Amino acid sequence: MIRTQISLNKKEYAAAKREAKRLGVSLAELLRRSLRSVLPADESKPWMRYAGMVESGNSNSSQQIDEIIYGQKD
């Protein structure tokens, strides 16, 4: 990852921190997700437009992706 710096006013910062806490993610992750939502999708990977948009609530979801997406595991 490349580290960058941004400037927010106090209201923006406070609102962003509250939203990150509500979602259970870091402020950096909230900002990355927000940025992804406005950037054009990589046309060579159309499925990437949906990456990170769905939360299952299952902490093991990355290990059970077939069951979550397809309802079964091959």
Q: Is the pLDDT of residue 48 over 80?
A: no
Asked if residue 65 is part of any domain, the answer here is no
Asked if residue 16 is part of any domain, the answer here is yes
- The residue segments making up the domain with residue 29 are 8-42
Asked if residue 47 is part of any domain, the answer here is no
CA–CA–CA angle 18, 11, 37 (5° rounding):
65
Asked if residue 59 is part of any domain, the answer here is no
Looking at the structure of the chain, the number of domains it has is 1
At 37, the pLDDT band (50, 70, 90 cuts) reads confident
Asked if residue 13 is part of any domain, the answer here is yes
Q: Is the pLDDT of residue 62 over 80?
A: no
Asked if residue 30 is part of any domain, the answer here is yes
What pTM was estimated for this model as a whole? 0.56
Mean pLDDT of 36-43: 77
Asked if residue 18 is part of any domain, the answer here is yes
35 or 46, which is more confident? Answer: 35
3-state helix, strand, coil in the chain (%, to 5): 55, 0, 45
| List of E strands, the chain | none
